[in-house]
Chains A and B, each alone.
Chain A
């Protein structure tokens, strides 16, 4: 069934997003990785919604979009305030808190 291709794509996108979060060093890029993970999830939700023939998954996708938008607001505020303090958004420079 061709719909499974969407699921495979969603899995690939999610993995790319997760790898971005774990490997990249710039906070903005890391954050973009998180957003990619959320959007990959949306694709999976909509595909499953189509597979099951009910709308719950699509409703969920809308909620995810709203939450992602709220997360962007909070996240960028935090990253920008750090950047203005240190002139850097690299997560490697952020290492004051160590045991």
Chain B
């Protein structure tokens, strides 16, 4: 028996290798570089790797545009036009998201827990915070996730698809649980994401097993051949492809697999939410398009009713439920569900222009998303300082039932988990005693006097806190309004071009009812985007919608100054949004020129 050394074309793999290689180096940096310089080293490495991936894609572009692409690693990875577009989109969006991740703002703290393993509210956590520990492991984790996202849409067989799915998911589960503030929410989001995500991967995996049983191969091309030729095993084929599609639809957050999206988007650290919302969606839709167009196009008559239902339900649920949300991150989460529905109309169309439309839409949506979450991460609450609370909370160091003034009173009230009702989201000394823990017991009935100079806390995510932001911070609010208009699909923003492209592809593919539903849903969605804009510009502070009893205690919003990273990212996203809206021609042409999937 002889071993044949496989031929590997390294050059087309360069973007993936750069990112994953940098991730491995990042782990070593974590082990060997002294803490003092660890952050600059990690940050430089991460940014360089992602920029390098973009450059590598650019170098590959001409050759792929000429030849139509190559398959590498024996067909496991297909480097064709759509792959390159998705790689470039993912790498650029991840680069911008990392800039937001890196920004410590004027508070000097990043968005991540000083010690992920520390119990929230414990003395250990307080010690870690006081020692000024900062997580730098997030950078390698982000790189691993990005590497998985690069592989995911480029795979040519189901084995690589599954492994890439896990490589992109596992770091995201961890990152979701590492928020510095509102740690209970963050851990809960992480657990929900993990349990539902692993359930979805198990479904996908069983689908893979059934497709393998049907065709005797894991390669997309060979499965597609078997779909045409093999008869008599339609049950295996249909069940297998439906399960695989279910796994992919979970990742894009389509109804009925959307229930994790709002919780995870709300609980995760905001910069990570931006990364997740933009890049995961790009990768998952890339994989979905490839599966739909190259593996099961001959099943379209069987799958179409299912996918039509999913697309319509996704648009409807995302839009309708977003209307009644009061938390800005949840609004953006439901908006992302609605957008998943819009992109699905382009996928379901199953025409050539659908690929171009989906690729363009993902770039437009991703740019606005990273920017919007970047802005959310800068709008913070200012805590109320109540004299005496510090000693009260400090004495009960075991479980100081801390809550920042008002905004988490609901959190503490419901967190009756066996005496540990600690929504220990912020530092000691800002508790209002709203919880039932030992530290809060002495504070019943006292109204905390609000000082104007309380410490800056977590993000001010409640919509009422955004009232009047346009008067105090016009530039920031205008930029946010721009992203919202792009989400809404107003002309001269990237969102309009994207929506126009997917809906016209849907009409071309005969899916005009989907386009009609999409237009109606866009119109309805425009209402709540415009409502936020009205809230920011035409409502005085504290004059926003009131929905619950603890409204009075909700602190106002304050905008922290960025260190510069986030500003660069937000400005780049805004520029991209305008550029793709005003002059979409060159990008659309470039994408359309290479939008040919390898079989």
Question: Which residues in A have some Cβ–Cβ distance to B below 8 Å?
Answer: 7, 10, 14, 17-18, 21, 27, 30-31, 34, 37-38, 40-41, 44-45, 47-48, 51-52, 54, 56-57, 59-60, 63-64, 67, 70-71, 74-75, 77-79, 81-82, 84-88, 91, 93-97, 99
In the complex, the chain A residue whose C-beta lies closest to that of B157 is A56
Closest chain-B Cβ to A86's Cβ sits at a distance in Å of 4
Question: Residues of A contacting B267 with CB < 8 Å?
Answer: 97
Pair A79/B218 contact, Cβ less than 8 Å:
no
Q: Flag if A60 contacts B159 (CB, 8 Å).
A: yes
Residue pair B213, A94 in contact (C-beta under 8 Å)? no
Contact status A21-B418, CB under 8 Å: no
Flag if A56 contacts B212 (CB, 8 Å): yes
Among the interface residues A75, A91, A99, which one has the most CB atoms of the partner chain B within 10 A? A99
Tell whether B190 is near chain A: CB-to-CB under 8 Å.
Answer: yes
Residue of A nearest to B423 (CB): A96
Q: Give B272 Cβ to nearest chain A Cβ, in Å.
A: 15
Residue of B nearest to A17 (CB): B202
Residue ID in chain B nearest A51 by CB atoms: B213
B194 and A74 form a contact (CB under 8 A): yes
Main secondary structure on chain A at its contact with chain B? Answer: helix
Q: How many A-B residue pairs have CB under 8 A?
A: 147
Residue of A30, A38, A97 most packed against chain B (CB within 10 A):
A97
Known: A31-B195, A84-B119. A74 touches B170 (CB 8 A): yes
How many angstroms from the CA of A61 to the CA of B209 in the assembled complex?
10
Beta-carbon contact of B420 and A85 below 8 Å: yes
Cβ-defined contact, A38 with B202, below 8 A: yes
A40 near B417 with CB under 8 A, answer no
Please give me the residue from chain B that is nearest to A30 by CB atom: B195
Known A-B contacts A78-B174, A86-B418; A97 and B185 likewise in contact (beta carbons under 8 Å)? yes
- How long is the Cα–Cα vector from A44 to B144 in the complex, in angstroms? 30
Expressed in whole angstroms, the minimum distance between the Cβ of A83 and any Cβ of chain B is: 10
CB of A45, distance to nearest CB on chain B (Å):
5
Contact residues in A for B177 (Cβ distance below 8 Å): 78, 81
A-B interface, 10 closest residue pairs, ranked by CB to CB distance from nearest = A86-B417, A37-B202, A48-B213, A52-B216, A87-B418, A97-B263, A44-B209, A34-B198, A93-B417, A41-B205
- Judged by a CB distance under 8 angstroms, whether B321 is at the interface is yes
Are A59 and B194 in contact, CB atoms less than 8 angstroms apart? no
In the complex, the answer to whether A96 meets B205 with C-beta atoms within 8 Å is: no
A96 and B163 within 8 A (CB): no
Query: Given A81-B116, A82-B191, do A95 and B418 touch, yes or no (CB 8 Å)?
Result: no
Interface string of B168-190 (1 = CB under 8 A from A): 00100110010000011101111
CB-based contact B173/A99 at 8 Å? no
- Which residues of B lie under 8 Å from residue A79 when comparing CB positions? 191
Interface presence of B68 (CB below 8 A): no
Residues of B within 8 A of A14 (CB): 206
In the complex, which residues of chain B have a beta carbon less than 8 angstroms from the beta carbon of A56? 159, 212, 216-218
Residue B527 at the chain A interface, CB threshold 8 Å: no
Are A41 and B206 in contact, CB atoms less than 8 angstroms apart? yes
Contacts of A86 in B (CB 8 A): 184, 415, 417-418, 420
A38 to B120, CA, bound (A): 33
Contact A82 B187 (CB under 8 A): yes
7 A-B pairs besides A44-B209, A52-B213 with CB distance below 8 A are A51-B213, A74-B173, A75-B173, A82-B188, A87-B417, A96-B185, A96-B411
Contact assessment for A45 and B202 in the assembled complex, using a CB-CB cutoff below 8 Å: no
Cα distance A45–B158 in the bound complex, in angstroms: 12
Contact A95-B414, Cβ < 8 Å, known A31-B195, A64-B205, A87-B420? yes
A74 → B minimal CB distance (Å): 5
Cα of A51 to Cα of B414 in the assembled complex, Å: 54
User: Which residues 304-363 of B sit at the A interface, judged by CB distance below 8 A?
Assistant: 321, 324-325, 330
B395 CB to closest chain A CB, in angstroms? 21
> Nearest Cβ distance between residue B124 and chain A, in whole angstroms?
11
**Bound form: Cα–Cα A54–B220 in Å:** 17
Given contacts A40-B206, A60-B208, A85-B420, contact A99 B330 (CB under 8 A): yes
Residues of B with C-beta under 8 A to A71? 166, 170, 198, 201
Question: Closest chain A residue to B326 by CB distance?
Answer: A99
For residue B172, give the distance in angstroms from its CB to the closest CB of chain A: 10
Q: Which residues of B contact A63 (CB under 8 A)?
A: 159, 162-163
Contact A34 B195 (CB under 8 A): yes
CB-defined A-B contacts under 8 Å, sample of 12:
A37-B206, A41-B206, A56-B216, A60-B208, A71-B170, A71-B198, A78-B194, A79-B191, A81-B187, A85-B119, A86-B417, A96-B415
